[in-house]
Structure 1
């Protein structure tokens, strides 16, 4: 178990470093793959001592060694989060294929959660491959029949798409992005249709909690305040899958 956890941590730290750059650069149109790693503020190229996940940032006081600007906390969040997902996946999954499948799901949801929280953006380039992986490698992670995965994908997409179209018809403006529907469809491909009601319940409760925190922090919440539903769906996936597993076991 400890060896597996160590492997998962190492993989998570490496991938998390890349995904952190993706979350900060991709929405602004900057290249993620091309060129050397650089400071988000001053653009100076990072040296090898600056590229060790988590450790380099801590030793630098969470600031750029060149300009002194604060390092975007999303880098640390992504590296630590991806490492935790890797550790859990490789420590507790029954075999390497199952661990890999769980980690792919977790890393994908972590990336989408941060993108939606920061930019209200759930790109097709991530949601659609996540749905595809739900059919291809999902069976190694979740004991869900393939027909149930297909129904889950269709139902997840269809339910939120219907809500989006109904809201637009009644209010004359967008209230729910299509990316949220595609994300729920992708989750349905992993979890099956049985997990979707509980998942939506947990996501709704998380949204209420988020709104409550905003109300406390800012003294109220505006009527047109946007909330990242995609982030809530990502956060709710773990509890929904755990609940489904307990139900099937009973």
Structure 2
């Protein structure tokens, strides 16, 4: 129990720190702004932020979500992503108190970044999806469940299944129904979870999307068949619970 708490606290703190970077990346990358170069600054008044302004979650809470200099509202995406990254780390540590917890947390943090980018910009960068795939293969080679055979089959099956669905939809309707990044993302997820978990990921993603549509309809927002939706984000959101479920059946 002590080990689980230690892993959870450690990965949670690491997640909060990484969450700050992830939020900056999600906001700046689609705008083609540098994420690495230059010091952090207020997007409204351009004032350089000090160390006291950069403590994940705490700084925003103490400043009540506003810049200390100009009073402009800070993009809530910062604290939302920091909180999500902290939660991912804590849950990974509680799920498995061993180095595999770090692998699971990395999986969750990469999924969080992809989901946020898809929600904000309908964009799943190949570099990030490729990183998810490569790290998935690496964890398999290190012996993390599932084994490499299941992972490789999952990678091929994940990509091929969504690519076929997208190609079929385009042939029938004459327009794209899936983005080009969605099959790549499901393929990368398959390299983490193996082929057997892919149906569960697709089902959970579809149910999550349906729930969001129903909530929107109940609140008075109409839905149309040609509305654009970030399906990649739904896949990413579904994949992390699938990893947690997989742990319960790991040998």
TM-score range, shorter chain: over 0.9
With 83-92 and 125-134 compared, the bigger mean Cα shift is at: 83-92
Residues 1:27 and 2:15 are matched in the alignment: no
CA shift for structure 1 position 137: 1.4
Distance 1:172 1:51 in 2: 48
Gaps of 5+ in 1: none
Q: How far does the alpha carbon of each residue in 1:198-247 deviate from its partner, in whole angstroms, 9 at most, with x for none?
A: 11111110110111122223431123211111111111113333444445
Distance 2:10 2:246 in 1: 28
Residue matched to 1:226? 228
Residues 1:194 and 2:196 are matched in the alignment: yes
CA RMSD of aligned residues (A): 1.8
**TM score, norm. by length of structure 1:** 0.92
Contact 2:119 2:230 in 1 (8 A): yes
Aligned residues: 248
Aligned equivalent of 1:5, options 2, 8, 12: 8
**TM score, norm. by length of structure 2:** 0.92
Distance 2:72 2:94 in 1: 37
Residues 1:93 and 2:116 are matched in the alignment: no
Q: How does 1:99-118 map to 2 (within 5 A)?
A: 99-118=101-120
Gaps of 5+ in 2: none
Contact 1:134 1:190 in 2 (8 A): yes
Residue matched to 1:160? 162
Q: How does 1:238-249 map to 2 (within 5 A)?
A: 238-246=240-248
Q: How far does the alpha carbon of each residue in 1:132-190 deviate from its partner, in whole angstroms, 9 at most, with x for none?
A: 11111146685212111111001100111111112222222221011111110000001
Contact 1:101 1:140 in 2 (8 A): no
Cα 1:125–1:158 change in 2 (3 A) is same
Distance 1:247 1:12 in 2: 26
Residues 1:50 and 2:53 are matched in the alignment: yes
Q: How does 1:55-70 map to 2 (within 5 A)?
A: 55-70=58-73
With 200-209 and 64-73 compared, the bigger mean Cα shift is at: 64-73
Distance 2:166 2:121 in 1: 19
